[in-house]
Amino acid sequence: MTKPIILDCDPGNDDALGILVAAGHEALDLKAVTTGAGHLAGDRTARNGAIAVAFTGRDDVPVAAGAMGPLVRERLIAGILDQTSALDPERPDLDAVPLDPRHSSDLIAELVVSGVASTVVTTGPLTNLALALRRNPGLPQKIERVVSLGGAWGLGNKTAAAEWNVLCDPEAAAIVFGAGIPLTLVPIDVGPQAVITDRLISDTEAIGGRVGRFAAELLRSLNKTFRPGVFGPAAMPLNDPVASLVAAEPSLARTVPARLEVELAGRLTYGRTVIDFARRSGAPNAEIAVELDGEGIHAAFIAALKRLARRPDRTGEEV
Protein backbone atom coordinates (compact mmCIF):
# COMPACT_ATOMS: atom_id res chain seq x y z
CA MET A 1 0.00 0.00 0.00
CA THR A 2 1.45 3.36 -1.00
CA LYS A 3 1.60 6.40 1.27
CA PRO A 4 -0.09 9.50 -0.23
CA ILE A 5 2.15 12.52 0.33
CA ILE A 6 2.41 16.22 -0.38
CA LEU A 7 5.96 17.47 -0.94
CA ASP A 8 6.40 21.08 0.20
CA CYS A 9 9.74 22.41 -0.99
CA ASP A 10 11.84 25.28 -2.39
CA PRO A 11 13.60 23.88 -5.49
CA GLY A 12 16.71 24.03 -5.52
CA ASN A 13 18.65 21.11 -6.87
CA ASP A 14 18.30 18.79 -3.90
CA ASP A 15 14.56 19.56 -3.71
CA ALA A 16 14.27 18.60 -7.38
CA LEU A 17 15.92 15.28 -6.56
CA GLY A 18 13.42 14.90 -3.73
CA ILE A 19 10.58 15.35 -6.23
CA LEU A 20 12.05 12.68 -8.53
CA VAL A 21 12.46 10.26 -5.62
CA ALA A 22 8.95 10.91 -4.29
CA ALA A 23 7.49 10.30 -7.75
CA GLY A 24 9.50 7.15 -8.28
CA HIS A 25 9.48 5.34 -4.93
CA GLU A 26 7.19 2.33 -4.90
CA ALA A 27 5.97 3.10 -1.35
CA LEU A 28 4.95 6.69 -2.09
CA ASP A 29 2.04 8.22 -4.00
CA LEU A 30 2.98 11.83 -4.75
CA LYS A 31 -0.24 13.86 -4.75
CA ALA A 32 1.11 17.40 -5.07
CA VAL A 33 4.23 19.54 -5.03
CA THR A 34 3.88 22.86 -3.22
CA THR A 35 6.59 25.49 -3.31
CA GLY A 36 7.63 28.59 -1.42
CA ALA A 37 10.45 31.10 -1.28
CA GLY A 38 13.69 29.79 0.20
CA HIS A 39 16.59 28.59 -1.89
CA LEU A 40 15.43 31.03 -4.58
CA ALA A 41 12.64 33.58 -4.93
CA GLY A 42 9.13 32.12 -4.94
CA ASP A 43 8.51 32.47 -8.67
CA ARG A 44 11.75 30.60 -9.40
CA THR A 45 11.09 27.77 -6.95
CA ALA A 46 7.63 27.26 -8.45
CA ARG A 47 9.09 27.13 -11.97
CA ASN A 48 11.79 24.69 -10.83
CA GLY A 49 9.19 22.49 -9.15
CA ALA A 50 7.23 22.44 -12.39
CA ILE A 51 10.38 21.47 -14.32
CA ALA A 52 11.11 18.59 -11.93
CA VAL A 53 7.55 17.28 -12.17
CA ALA A 54 7.76 17.45 -15.97
CA PHE A 55 10.76 15.11 -15.77
CA THR A 56 8.64 12.60 -13.83
CA GLY A 57 6.06 12.34 -16.60
CA ARG A 58 3.35 12.81 -13.97
CA ASP A 59 0.82 15.22 -15.47
CA ASP A 60 -1.55 14.28 -12.64
CA VAL A 61 0.65 15.89 -9.94
CA PRO A 62 -0.29 19.55 -9.41
CA VAL A 63 2.47 22.06 -8.72
CA ALA A 64 1.37 25.15 -6.80
CA ALA A 65 3.26 28.31 -5.91
CA GLY A 66 2.92 29.53 -2.37
CA ALA A 67 4.48 31.94 0.08
CA MET A 68 6.72 34.58 -1.49
CA GLY A 69 8.31 35.41 1.86
CA PRO A 70 8.35 34.49 5.56
CA LEU A 71 5.56 35.25 8.01
CA VAL A 72 7.54 37.91 9.92
CA ARG A 73 11.19 38.24 9.05
CA GLU A 74 12.71 39.54 5.82
CA ARG A 75 13.42 36.92 3.17
CA LEU A 76 16.90 35.42 3.18
CA ILE A 77 18.95 34.89 0.04
CA ALA A 78 20.95 31.71 -0.60
CA GLY A 79 24.66 32.49 -0.37
CA ILE A 80 26.17 30.10 -2.91
CA LEU A 81 24.54 29.18 -6.20
CA ASP A 82 25.77 27.28 -9.24
CA GLN A 83 24.88 29.58 -12.12
CA THR A 84 26.23 27.25 -14.83
CA SER A 85 24.10 24.10 -14.58
CA ALA A 86 21.08 22.34 -13.05
CA LEU A 87 18.32 24.56 -11.59
CA ASP A 88 20.18 27.44 -9.95
CA PRO A 89 20.23 29.43 -13.22
CA GLU A 90 17.01 30.06 -15.12
CA ARG A 91 16.32 27.16 -17.51
CA PRO A 92 13.95 28.19 -20.30
CA ASP A 93 15.28 25.22 -22.27
CA LEU A 94 13.57 22.72 -19.96
CA ASP A 95 9.89 21.76 -20.16
CA ALA A 96 7.66 22.53 -17.20
CA VAL A 97 4.13 21.48 -16.28
CA PRO A 98 1.58 24.32 -15.93
CA LEU A 99 1.26 25.73 -12.42
CA ASP A 100 -1.91 25.05 -10.48
CA PRO A 101 -3.78 28.31 -9.76
CA ARG A 102 -4.26 27.50 -6.07
CA HIS A 103 -1.95 28.84 -3.37
CA SER A 104 0.24 26.16 -1.86
CA SER A 105 -1.31 26.52 1.59
CA ASP A 106 -4.82 26.11 0.15
CA LEU A 107 -3.80 23.06 -1.87
CA ILE A 108 -2.22 21.44 1.20
CA ALA A 109 -5.38 21.99 3.24
CA GLU A 110 -7.70 20.83 0.46
CA LEU A 111 -5.85 17.57 -0.16
CA VAL A 112 -5.52 16.74 3.54
CA VAL A 113 -9.11 17.61 4.50
CA SER A 114 -10.48 15.62 1.55
CA GLY A 115 -8.38 12.60 2.55
CA VAL A 116 -6.38 12.59 -0.69
CA ALA A 117 -3.06 13.00 1.17
CA SER A 118 -2.17 12.18 4.75
CA THR A 119 1.59 12.85 5.04
CA VAL A 120 3.36 16.14 4.39
CA VAL A 121 7.07 16.02 3.58
CA THR A 122 8.86 19.36 3.89
CA THR A 123 12.30 20.23 2.56
CA GLY A 124 12.20 24.02 2.70
CA PRO A 125 10.90 26.80 4.94
CA LEU A 126 7.65 25.86 6.69
CA THR A 127 5.66 28.94 5.70
CA ASN A 128 3.10 27.19 3.49
CA LEU A 129 2.28 24.54 6.06
CA ALA A 130 2.08 27.12 8.86
CA LEU A 131 -0.36 29.21 6.80
CA ALA A 132 -2.47 26.13 6.11
CA LEU A 133 -2.60 25.32 9.82
CA ARG A 134 -3.52 28.87 10.79
CA ARG A 135 -6.31 29.07 8.22
CA ASN A 136 -7.73 25.61 9.00
CA PRO A 137 -7.92 24.97 12.76
CA GLY A 138 -8.92 21.31 12.39
CA LEU A 139 -6.08 20.47 10.01
CA PRO A 140 -3.55 19.11 12.55
CA GLN A 141 -5.88 16.25 13.45
CA LYS A 142 -6.08 15.19 9.82
CA ILE A 143 -2.35 15.06 9.08
CA GLU A 144 -0.93 11.62 9.83
CA ARG A 145 2.68 12.81 9.99
CA VAL A 146 5.03 15.56 8.93
CA VAL A 147 8.52 14.50 7.85
CA SER A 148 10.74 17.57 7.80
CA LEU A 149 14.31 18.05 6.60
CA GLY A 150 15.74 20.85 8.70
CA GLY A 151 16.94 22.04 12.08
CA ALA A 152 20.00 21.01 14.05
CA TRP A 153 20.82 19.89 17.56
CA GLY A 154 24.34 21.25 17.12
CA LEU A 155 25.80 24.01 14.96
CA GLY A 156 23.73 25.77 12.34
CA ASN A 157 24.64 26.00 8.67
CA LYS A 158 23.43 29.55 8.04
CA THR A 159 24.34 31.16 11.36
CA ALA A 160 26.33 29.68 14.21
CA ALA A 161 23.04 28.72 15.83
CA ALA A 162 20.49 28.17 13.08
CA GLU A 163 19.89 25.87 10.14
CA TRP A 164 18.78 27.38 6.82
CA ASN A 165 15.24 25.98 6.42
CA VAL A 166 14.20 26.97 9.93
CA LEU A 167 16.00 30.32 9.89
CA CYS A 168 14.20 31.29 6.65
CA ASP A 169 10.97 31.39 8.69
CA PRO A 170 11.41 30.60 12.39
CA GLU A 171 7.88 31.70 13.29
CA ALA A 172 6.41 29.28 10.75
CA ALA A 173 8.58 26.46 12.10
CA ALA A 174 7.39 27.24 15.63
CA ILE A 175 3.77 26.99 14.48
CA VAL A 176 4.30 23.63 12.76
CA PHE A 177 6.39 22.12 15.56
CA GLY A 178 3.86 23.24 18.14
CA ALA A 179 0.74 22.04 16.30
CA GLY A 180 0.62 18.61 17.90
CA ILE A 181 1.10 16.77 14.60
CA PRO A 182 3.23 13.59 14.70
CA LEU A 183 6.58 14.85 13.43
CA THR A 184 9.80 13.27 12.23
CA LEU A 185 12.69 15.73 11.97
CA VAL A 186 15.76 14.92 9.89
CA PRO A 187 18.32 17.48 11.11
CA ILE A 188 21.49 18.49 9.32
CA ASP A 189 23.56 16.76 12.01
CA VAL A 190 22.86 13.38 10.38
CA GLY A 191 23.50 14.64 6.84
CA PRO A 192 27.14 13.44 6.78
CA GLN A 193 25.87 9.86 7.03
CA ALA A 194 24.32 10.05 3.54
CA VAL A 195 26.50 12.10 1.20
CA ILE A 196 26.88 12.50 -2.55
CA THR A 197 29.69 10.19 -3.65
CA ASP A 198 31.30 9.58 -7.04
CA ARG A 199 29.70 6.14 -6.97
CA LEU A 200 26.25 7.60 -6.38
CA ILE A 201 26.70 9.96 -9.34
CA SER A 202 27.94 7.20 -11.64
CA ASP A 203 25.12 4.85 -10.59
CA THR A 204 22.62 7.64 -11.23
CA GLU A 205 24.05 8.43 -14.65
CA ALA A 206 24.01 4.72 -15.53
CA ILE A 207 20.20 4.77 -15.23
CA GLY A 208 20.24 6.63 -18.51
CA GLY A 209 17.40 8.45 -20.19
CA ARG A 210 16.17 11.90 -19.27
CA VAL A 211 15.76 11.03 -15.60
CA GLY A 212 19.25 9.61 -15.16
CA ARG A 213 20.94 12.47 -16.98
CA PHE A 214 18.96 15.17 -15.16
CA ALA A 215 19.46 13.59 -11.72
CA ALA A 216 23.21 13.24 -12.33
CA GLU A 217 23.37 16.90 -13.38
CA LEU A 218 21.62 17.90 -10.16
CA LEU A 219 24.03 15.84 -8.05
CA ARG A 220 27.09 17.30 -9.77
CA SER A 221 25.77 20.83 -9.30
CA LEU A 222 25.26 20.22 -5.59
CA ASN A 223 28.84 19.01 -5.29
CA LYS A 224 30.03 22.13 -7.13
CA THR A 225 28.49 24.44 -4.51
CA PHE A 226 29.67 22.48 -1.47
CA ARG A 227 31.92 24.35 0.95
CA PRO A 228 33.14 22.21 3.89
CA GLY A 229 33.26 23.87 7.29
CA VAL A 230 35.56 23.32 10.25
CA PHE A 231 33.24 20.76 11.85
CA GLY A 232 31.12 20.04 8.79
CA PRO A 233 30.97 16.95 6.58
CA ALA A 234 33.81 16.18 4.20
CA ALA A 235 31.39 15.69 1.30
CA MET A 236 28.08 17.22 0.24
CA PRO A 237 25.11 15.64 2.06
CA LEU A 238 22.31 14.34 -0.15
CA ASN A 239 19.90 16.33 2.04
CA ASP A 240 16.37 16.84 0.67
CA PRO A 241 15.75 13.45 -1.00
CA VAL A 242 16.44 11.87 2.38
CA ALA A 243 13.16 13.26 3.73
CA SER A 244 11.14 11.53 1.01
CA LEU A 245 13.09 8.32 1.50
CA VAL A 246 12.56 8.33 5.26
CA ALA A 247 8.85 8.96 4.71
CA ALA A 248 8.79 5.95 2.40
CA GLU A 249 11.05 3.72 4.50
CA PRO A 250 11.15 4.85 8.15
CA SER A 251 13.71 2.15 8.94
CA LEU A 252 16.32 4.16 7.01
CA ALA A 253 16.57 6.46 10.04
CA ARG A 254 16.94 5.69 13.73
CA THR A 255 14.89 8.21 15.66
CA VAL A 256 14.47 9.12 19.31
CA PRO A 257 11.72 11.19 20.93
CA ALA A 258 12.61 14.70 22.05
CA ARG A 259 11.17 18.11 22.85
CA LEU A 260 11.55 20.35 19.80
CA GLU A 261 11.15 24.11 19.93
CA VAL A 262 12.40 27.16 18.02
CA GLU A 263 14.18 30.16 19.53
CA LEU A 264 12.37 33.33 18.45
CA ALA A 265 13.80 35.95 20.79
CA GLY A 266 17.56 35.42 20.98
CA ARG A 267 19.77 38.12 19.50
CA LEU A 268 22.44 35.59 18.48
CA THR A 269 20.34 32.43 18.51
CA TYR A 270 17.24 33.50 16.55
CA GLY A 271 16.01 30.52 14.53
CA ARG A 272 17.86 27.88 16.52
CA THR A 273 16.08 24.56 16.91
CA VAL A 274 16.29 23.64 20.59
CA ILE A 275 16.20 19.84 20.68
CA ASP A 276 15.89 18.57 24.24
CA PHE A 277 16.61 14.84 24.15
CA ALA A 278 16.36 14.63 27.95
CA ARG A 279 12.88 16.22 27.73
CA ARG A 280 13.55 18.53 30.67
CA SER A 281 11.64 21.37 28.98
CA GLY A 282 8.48 19.39 28.26
CA ALA A 283 6.95 16.27 26.83
CA PRO A 284 8.35 15.01 23.52
CA ASN A 285 6.67 16.41 20.42
CA ALA A 286 8.91 14.98 17.71
CA GLU A 287 10.92 11.99 16.61
CA ILE A 288 14.45 13.17 15.83
CA ALA A 289 16.61 11.25 13.38
CA VAL A 290 19.94 10.59 15.09
CA GLU A 291 21.35 8.05 12.65
CA LEU A 292 20.89 7.31 8.95
CA ASP A 293 21.50 4.11 7.01
CA GLY A 294 23.72 5.69 4.37
CA GLU A 295 24.05 2.60 2.17
CA GLY A 296 20.32 1.93 2.44
CA ILE A 297 19.53 5.52 1.45
CA HIS A 298 21.80 5.32 -1.58
CA ALA A 299 20.18 2.03 -2.63
CA ALA A 300 16.66 3.38 -2.15
CA PHE A 301 17.56 6.56 -4.04
CA ILE A 302 18.80 4.62 -7.08
CA ALA A 303 15.87 2.20 -6.95
CA ALA A 304 13.36 5.06 -6.96
CA LEU A 305 15.04 6.77 -9.91
CA LYS A 306 15.22 3.49 -11.85
CA ARG A 307 11.52 2.90 -11.28
CA LEU A 308 10.74 6.44 -12.38
CA ALA A 309 12.90 6.07 -15.50
CA ARG A 310 10.89 3.00 -16.52
CA ARG A 311 7.60 4.89 -16.28
CA PRO A 312 6.16 5.78 -19.72
CA ASP A 313 5.21 9.43 -20.19
CA ARG A 314 2.07 10.64 -21.97
CA THR A 315 3.66 9.86 -25.36
CA GLY A 316 4.34 6.27 -24.39
CA GLU A 317 8.08 6.84 -24.14
CA GLU A 318 10.08 6.12 -20.99
CA VAL A 319 10.84 9.31 -19.06
Query: For residue 317, what pLDDT is reported?
Result: 54
Distance from C-alpha of 218 to C-alpha of 292, rounded to nearest angstrom: 22
Q: Angle at CA 23, nearest 5°, toward 2 and 299?
A: 85
Distance from C-alpha of 119 to C-alpha of 61, rounded to nearest angstrom: 15
Which 8-state DSSP code applies to residue 97?
Answer: P
Distance from C-alpha of 34 to C-alpha of 45, rounded to nearest angstrom: 9
Q: What is the pTM of this model?
A: 0.96
Q: How many CB atoms lie within 10 A of CB 2?
A: 11
Query: For residue 230, what pLDDT is reported?
Result: 79
Distance from C-alpha of 63 to C-alpha of 69, rounded to nearest angstrom: 18
Q: Angle at CA 31, nearest 5°, toward 28 and 37?
A: 110
Distance from C-alpha of 252 to C-alpha of 208, rounded to nearest angstrom: 26
Query: For residue 311, what pLDDT is reported?
Result: 76
Q: Distance of CA 316 to CAs 23, 58, 312, 313, Å? A: 17, 12, 5, 5
Which 8-state DSSP code applies to residue 226?
Answer: -
Choose among 38, 23, 19, 27: nearest CA to 3. Answer: 27
Q: Are 125 and 168 in contact (CB under 8 A)?
A: yes
Q: Are 278 and 257 in contact (CB under 8 A)?
A: no
Q: Angle at CA 312, nearest 5°, toward 124 and 97?
A: 45
Distance from C-alpha of 93 to C-alpha of 31, rounded to nearest angstrom: 26
Query: For residue 1, what pLDDT is reported?
Result: 83
Pairing of strands 119-122, 28-35: unpaired
Q: For the chain, which residues score pLDDT lower than 50? A: 315-316
- Give the HSE-up count for residue 242: Cα atoms under 13 Å, Cβ half-sphere: 33
Helix or strand or coil: residue 138?
coil
Q: Is residue 6 within a helix (H) or strand (E), and if so which, with residue range? A: strand 3-9
Q: Report the chain's terminal Cα–Cα distance, integer Å.
A: 24
Q: Which residues pair with 253 in a beta bridge?
A: 292
